[in-house]
Structure 1
Amino acid sequence: MFTTRPDTLFGATFLVVAPEHPLVQRTDNPEVQAYCEAAANRSERERQADDQDKTGVALGLHGIHPVSGTLVPIWVADYVLMGYGTGAIMAVPGHDDRDHAFATKFGIEITTVVAPENGSEPEGCFTEHGVAINSACEDLSLNGLRTAEAKAKMIDWLVEHHCGERRVTYRLRDWLFSRQRYWGEPFPIVFDPEGNCHPVSDAGLPVELPDLADYEPVVSDEPQPLLAKATDWMHTTAGAAGVSPNRLPPETPVTRETNTMPGWAGSCWYWIRYCDPNNDQAFISEEAKAFWLNGGVDLYVGGAEHATLHLLYARFWHKMLFDLGHLPTSEPFQKLFHQGLLTAFAFQRDNGQLVPTDEVDETSDENFVAKDTGEPVRRIVAKMSKSLRNVVNPDDVIAEFGADTFRLYEMYMGPLDASKPWNTRDIVGVYRFLQRAWRLLIDETTGEAKLRSEKHDAIEQQLHRTIAKVGDDIERLANNTAIAALIEFVNFAGKTSGEQSALTASQADQFARLLGPFAPHIAEELRERCGTPGCIIHATWPTYDESMLVDDTIELPVQVAGKMKGKVAMPADADEATVKELVLADEKILAALEGRTIRKLILVPGRIVNLIPGD
């Protein structure tokens, strides 16, 4: 049997095998045979559905518990699949929902062997990780161990006593790799008159799709793939199809395979071909492999919905090519990042019915009513959908605010991995930021750059800090905080310079390069108007001076008897004596002390000062 939770072995009260398991053949029980025949007519999806009533039959056989030595009854049930693990599972009804439903229906013992870490009593079927309980016998005890520790200890015990072994399994299943549509790669396969299949030789590749007058399927009692409409293409000779004469004489009549490959045929290896797309001798050259794929793809950004389909098969495909010696690495992607979902506001009645956005009126700020009934509706966040008419068209946003604002708002909405609602009212905020950035460098009257000749020390230091912050945030995919740092810099530079020009030409160039990844069009324009020619995407990333990231002076918060009384400026490296001298020279702090002496001074360097006055 196979299990992913060996830590729960003490809670296994029965075993379940798939209807296709060889053990089932040991019984001639007609009830078991009838059950297995019925299970054969159900799909895997139906058998695995959580909402289905659990069914099964006892085999009349027992297994021996490897730890306790007790007899454990064996059942056959269709919720266990032969293609998963070994087709046999230990059933732990205290900690698996399907096992729990099965045991409840058939009156099988349920033993709790994992409890929440917070010490609370588990309610019902506890499926999370926790702490082992009721998991001990004369030879072994897992009690008190966290799940990961209990798993490791149980596996070690089973291996040591020759009762089991470690195994890694993959959720790969049989893969339907054909489609009956026109668009897709044709299979390089032909069939001779006897029905034997033959591959098209390398010289005959690629097999190209034939031209069709239309793409309407043919109505027939015997449905055929769309390519079957191209009869001249489908019925040909071995020579014309590209079959090697060593396999078939060239004049042999053959029929082409008319199914086409699915989108998987490209999506499972597209990143490899991207590295060498114009190579007509190989799917990737040795030079391109060494340059681009020495270590695999650095970062893959994609939705979580791809994790168990595209990514699983892409990894399988990549590993196959690696095993065949065609790729230098066994893993396709070094790092995976799932981006969040953009949602939008929708509206809901009290009875839960959703109302399209164009059927709602806003009567006052944050108050909404349905147009048809006048009843209040609640604004909620939901996926964008045509039925709710809450889909945001990017073209409309770009037409009003520009592409840079659209890009900037998307990245500023929140963390990249979080789902967040689109709110058109908030777009004006980043639009105004771009306007401020423009006015910081460009004279609105003349359209000419307004630059200073000498650097302002405070602005120069803030620029270096911004370069460090934005660069670090981009590496962490924290685009929203990187944009926040750019906004902070523009505000600081504008406030610090007052009516004077804020940046030199060199500083303007550096700022434009920082802004480029987020708002490339305005960044390109600013950079050129400020005197730096050339395309910004070819410019190097700005560097910063580490010494500029350290403050010479700081403001330390000061507490008197635990209550905040003000802040005092002082050198960043001031010792305790200097801190005390400067704090006691501050008028606000002296007033707070009310003439009392200092019994104790508590200093957290660079963070805070707390004065404890005497009586």
Structure 2
Amino acid sequence: MSETYDFAAIEARHQAAWEASGAFVTADDDPRPRYYVLEMFPYPSGRIHMGHVRNYTIGDVVARYKRMRGYNVLHPMGWDAFGLPAENAALKHGTHPARWTYENIDYMRRQLKRLGLSYDWSRELATCDPAYYGKEQLFFLQMYERGLVYRKKAKVNWCEGCGTVLANEQVEDGRCWRCDGEVRLRDLDGWFFRITDYAEELLEGCDRLEGWPEKVLTMQRNWIGRSTGAEIDFPLEGGGAIRVFTTRPDTLFGVTFMSLAPDHPLAETLAAGTDREAEVRAFAERWAGAPGTPEEREKEGVFTGRYALHPLTGERIPVYLANFVLMGYGTGAVMAVPAHDQRDFEFARRYGLPVRVVIQPPGAPLDPGTMEAAWEGPGVLAGSGPFDGLESEAAKAAIVRHLEEKGCGRARTTYRLRDWGISRQRYWGAPIPVVHCDRCGVVPLRPEDLPVVLPLEARLGPGGRSPLPELEAFLRTACPRCGGPARRETDTMDTFVESSWYFARYTCPDEADRPLDPERADAWLPVDQYIGGIEHAILHLLYARFFTKVLRDLGWLHVDEPFRNLLTQGMVLKDGAKMSKSKGNVVDPDEMLRAYGADTVRLFILFAAPPERDLEWSDQGVEGAHRFLQRVWRLVTERAEALRGAPAPGPELARAVAGDEALRALRRKTHQTIRKVTEDIEARFHFNTAISAVMELVNETAALLGAGRPAPGDATGWAVVREAVEAVLLLLSPMVPHITAELWERLGHEGGLERAPWPEADEAALAADEVAIVVQVNGKVRGRIRAAAGADRAEVEAAALAEPNVRRHVEGKSVRKVVYVPGRLVNIVAAG
């Protein structure tokens, strides 16, 4: 009788042994080739969820597998510890954000260790530690010196629910990415990073990220939004001009009105002092910063009472404010061409504005009086003066040259991407290292003044208001330039700044005097495999790419990209929906660990779906995973003595089993499984099919044992079974490290399974003595035969024609042709 599979004791024992021995601590001087695997670090929210479990289990399998393949693996963990949720929780529970954060870190660290994750905990970091964010403040100062940081008053995205500014990337359909509250535009002074200086490099870099999912690259390309066209100035009657950017200069002669964003700088001044002033102001106030996207809105506008002049014809063009034009795109002004832009067309029809066709498509000519939609495609210019008859692309270049000659336009490339607003009017974040001096203005601190430490004695104000503007001990300081009184900046940095360089800090977390040791960072970066959710495709991943390029240009790094390969794992669902407390479908990892153990949870997570797809939680699936592990447990423990006493598999085993088909078949299956699992892990981490292959090997091993083989004393037979069992343990060990480590010891091995090398498939064992061949008659399967692996065509054809069912289907017919695909298929073409 085998002993009970006591997963709790087994997992606790091996986790303690790994920690005591420093099994996963990474040495920088290890001569083996390096491999850096990293999962996106968590926010210390209090407890892990199944999404965390899936993400970190996938990364752990990669880390353990690569160690077994002979790599020196860096696999660190830390905490994205600043941010608004800590403040909200502190308000709710009457505690301090720092205390709440560090208590959660302690709890979540224990949870992650219970999963048996092979992290190098000696490199752990928390972004709320001054030793971390103080280095970030130095980057800020160096970026400021290079003109990559600036402060300005701007219309910013304001979330009333969070009481802070949001970057454009943090606004989703007019709502806050975190609290889902409505976002409005508001004028505020704030700090910005010039990410737009890197727009073209960020865009071009997408073409070189061959290890990234195409959907992520598409999202980044679209967000950067490179557009090539023309910038054109339309003079205003009475003085001034409206500047527009268009990708369709070939439609310039079709302009019949101008559209301005409701918050365009000219919006109020155009109608000032006229009888339209009140109506225009009301429209601007109604729509400036309104939620939703232009596509969702019914087209509305208001005439300002003013006219622009066409730069080439001098025609008077009415100027409108329009709710579908946004300041964040182009110049906030549009030359409206209703015949060739659908939004302009809908607006023109609503307000009775002219529609002028200037691009004729192939086929029937367009009639502006009967058009039901705009023609937005290319064609031949008509009604465009000297440019008539030109194809659209040729006309674009010709018209831009003409505008440049006239001094009223120029070729221009623009980007949808806007500079990164990093100011947050919250407490729990990294202080911005500048002061405000009445004599000197805005003054950056000196490096020796760092870190500017967030005062932990501060307490949140009503509703979570930041205490920093009223905390005299923090606020009052001396100007580093003139020595006079100054006030510290009370905005803190966007927490995405911290997550934009943490992967580099992991390479040298003990570096005390500098943010990074370039030599050590260069030795590990870029990260070989990064793992995280698709929801970070724009926010975190784009910022991390930008920050890497900045640190390169500052001399701290010598790589262009942070992550060589990216895996975006799917969500964990239950009852078809993402797990959430509001839906009542949350599965608590702690409960699963108590009931089944870490190995069962890991096995189910990996087996239930490929990592890039969503995973549907199944209690039955968890039970099935647990039963399989119990089966593996019994397979080894019930025969541990015989397996330990069996000869270690070696080259002579192939000769020893030559006359025993059952043993040869199990050896063949063993080495087929080794090859299959290796290929599945290497090929984009297909853990589910890898586990399935191991299950088949367990079944075939159990079937041989169930048939009474090998007999006691059959050294060769037990050597074959031992080889199969050890392959099972080695192949499963990255997925279920505790039970496999325990069983490895039960087989008499010393040194720990985590130090064992990955098995190699024996090509000789893979070679089959016979192959199964499908036989078709006129394309329909009529039988199967077995033939020697090296049989020639004539032997195979003769055997196929002799197969009883095949013979019946060709009887009385003449065989016209026999098609033979060696080792796979015989197709007999018969007629008569």
Question: Normalized against structure 1, the TM-score is what?
Answer: 0.74
Instruction: Verify the 8 A CA contact 1:319 1:331 in the aligned structure 2.
Output: yes
Q: Give the letter aligned to residue 780 of structure 2.
A: K
1:332 and 2:578 aligned: no
Kindly tell me: are residues 9 and 286 of structure 1, through their superposed partners in 2, closer, same or farther at Cα, counting changes over 3 Å? same
* Cα shift at 1:102: 3.6
Name the CA distance, whole Å, in 2 between partners of 1:512 and 1:114. Answer: 67
Residues 338, 356 of structure 2: 8 Å contact kept: yes
- Shift, 1:422, TM fit: 1.0
Note if contact 2:548-2:561 (Cα within 8 Å) is conserved in structure 1.
yes
RMSD: 4.3
Which among 408, 413, 419 is matched to residue 167 of structure 1?
413
State the alpha-carbon separation in 1 of the partners of residues 248 and 794 from structure 2: 59
Match of 2:425 among 156, 159, 179: 179
Name the counterpart of 2:468.
227
Report the CA distance between 1:507 and its aligned residue: 5.0
SS at match of 2:573: strand
Q: Is 1:464 equivalent to 2:671 in the alignment?
A: yes
> For residues 554 and 64 of structure 1, do their structure 2 counterparts lie closer, same or farther at Cα, with a shift above 3 Å needed?
farther
Change (3 A) 1:7 1:254: closer
2:178 maps to: none
Q: TM-score under structure 2 normalisation? A: 0.56
Q: Does 1:423 align with 2:664?
A: no
Taking the aligned partners of 1:596 and 1:442, their CA distance within structure 2 comes to: 60
Cα deviation for residue 248 of structure 1 reads 3.4
**Higher mean C-alpha deviation, range 281-290 or range 252-261:** 252-261
The equivalent of 1:248 in structure 2 is: 482
Match for 1:554 among 767, 771, 785? 771
SS in 1 for 2:435: strand
Q: Name the aligned partner's letter for residue 536 of structure 1.
A: L
For residues 328 and 423 of structure 1, the distance between their equivalents in structure 2, rounded to whole angstroms, comes to: 46
CA distance in 1, matches of 2:348, 2:496: 40
1:266 CA displacement:
0.7
Q: Distance in 1 between matches of 2:765 and 2:356?
A: 65
| Map of 1:481 onto structure 2 | 689
- The answer to whether the Cα contact below 8 Å between 2:425 and 2:490 also exists between their aligned partners in 1 is no
Residues 605 and 399 of structure 1, relative CA distance in 2, 3 Å threshold: same
User: What is the alpha-carbon distance in structure 2 between the residues aligned to residue 474 and residue 7 of structure 1?
Assistant: 48
Distance in 1 (alpha carbons) for counterparts of 2:356 and 2:602: 55
Q: Which structure 1 residue ranges, 5 or more long, are not aligned?
A: 116-123, 143-153, 346-380
1:307 partnered with 2:537:
yes
Worse-superposed segment, 426-435 or 40-49: 40-49
Quote the offset at 1:467 in angstroms: 2.5
- Work out whether residues 508 and 527 of structure 1, in 8 Å CA contact, stay in contact via their aligned partners in 2: no
Give the 3-state SS of the residue equivalent to 2:577 in structure 1: strand
* Counterpart selection for 2:261 from 5, 18, 38: 18
* Separation in 2, partners of 1:228, 1:184: 14
Structure 1: distance between partners of 2:802 and 2:423:
81
Percentage identity across paired residues of the two chains: 34
State the Cα deviation string for residues 273-309 of structure 1 (Å, max 9, x = none): 112111112222121232112xx33333222222232
**Stretch of structure 1 that moved more, 258-267 or 195-204:** 195-204
Q: Which amino acid aligns with 1:310?
A: H
Contact 1:318–1:330 under 8 Å retained in 2: yes
**SS at 2:461 equivalent:** coil
User: Are 1:322 and 2:566 counterparts?
Assistant: no
What is the identity, as a one-letter code, of the residue corresponding to 1:393?
A: D
Measured at CA, do residues 484 and 72 of structure 1 come closer, stay the same or move farther in structure 2, by a change above 3 Å?
A: farther
Q: Report the equivalent of 1:158.
A: 396
- Out of 519, 540, 556, the residue aligned to residue 757 of structure 2 is 540
Instruction: Kindly indicate whether the alpha-carbon contact (under 8 Å) linking 1:210 and 1:230 is maintained by their aligned counterparts in 2.
Output: no
C-alpha deviation, 1:405, in angstroms: 1.1
Conserved 8 A contact 1:178-1:260: yes
1:525 counterpart residue number: 742
Q: Which residue of 2 aligns with 1:397?
A: 592
AA partner of residue 460 (structure 1) = R
1:492 is aligned with what amino acid? Answer: E
Query: Is the 8 Å Cα contact of residues 569 and 613 (structure 2) preserved in structure 1?
Result: yes
Which structure has the higher relative contact order (CA within 8 Å, separation 6+)?
2
Q: Deviations over 1:15-51 (max 9, x none)?
A: 6443566887996695489537743674545373543
For residues 236-385 of structure 1, what are the structure 2 equivalents within 5 Å? 237-238=477-478, 244=480, 247-249=481-483, 252-293=484-525, 296-345=526-575, 381-385=576-580
Change (3 A) 1:448 1:564: closer
Q: 1:491 aligns with which of 678, 692, 699?
A: 699
Deviations 1:395-447 (A, max 9, x none): 22222221111111112121222223212122222222222322333317979
Aligned 8 A contact 2:570 2:611 in 1: yes
CA distance in 1, matches of 2:583, 2:557: 47
The match for 1:371 is none
Higher mean alpha-carbon deviation, 326-335 vs 42-51, is at 42-51
Aligned equivalents of 2:762, 2:451: Cα separation in 1: 55
Gap change, CA 1:549 and 1:419, over 3 Å in 2: same
User: Which amino acid letter does the alignment assign opposite residue 205 of structure 1?
Assistant: L
Of the structure 1 ranges 335-344 and 388-397, higher mean CA displacement relative to structure 2 is found in 335-344
**Which of 784, 806, 813 in structure 2 is aligned with 1:567?**
784
Contact 1:448 1:529 in 2 (8 A): no
Give the Cα–Cα distance (whole angstroms) in 1 for the partners of residues 500 and 582 of structure 2: 33
Give the Cα–Cα distance (whole angstroms) in 2 for the partners of residues 604 and 48 of structure 1.
58
Q: Which residue does the alignment assign to 2:172?
A: none
Q: Within the alignment, does 1:598 sit opposite 2:815 as a pair?
A: yes
Name 1:55's counterpart in structure 2: 300
What SS is found at the alignment partner of 2:443?
A: strand
- The amino acid that maps onto 1:459 is L
Query: Is contact 2:360-2:380 (8 Å) kept?
Result: no
| 1: CA distance, partners of 2:493 / 2:758 | 43
Question: Kindly tell me: are residues 310 and 94 of structure 1, through their superposed partners in 2, closer, same or farther at Cα, counting changes over 3 Å?
Answer: farther
8 Å contact kept, 2:522–2:557: no
Give the corresponding residue for 1:589. Answer: 806
Runs of 5+ unmatched residues, structure 2 = 1-225, 230-245, 363-371, 382-387, 402-409, 654-662, 711-717
Cα offset, 1:344, TM superposition: 0.9
Q: Is residue 593–residue 613 contact of structure 1 (8 Å, CA) maintained in 2?
A: yes
Q: Aligned partners of 2:286, 2:459: CA distance in 1, in Å?
A: 34
Q: What is residue 348 of structure 1 aligned with on the other side? A: none
Query: What pairs with 1:118-197 in structure 2 (closer than 5 Å)?
Result: 135-137=379-381, 139=389, 154=393, 158-159=396-397, 162=400, 167=413, 169-181=415-427, 183-192=428-437, 196-197=441-442
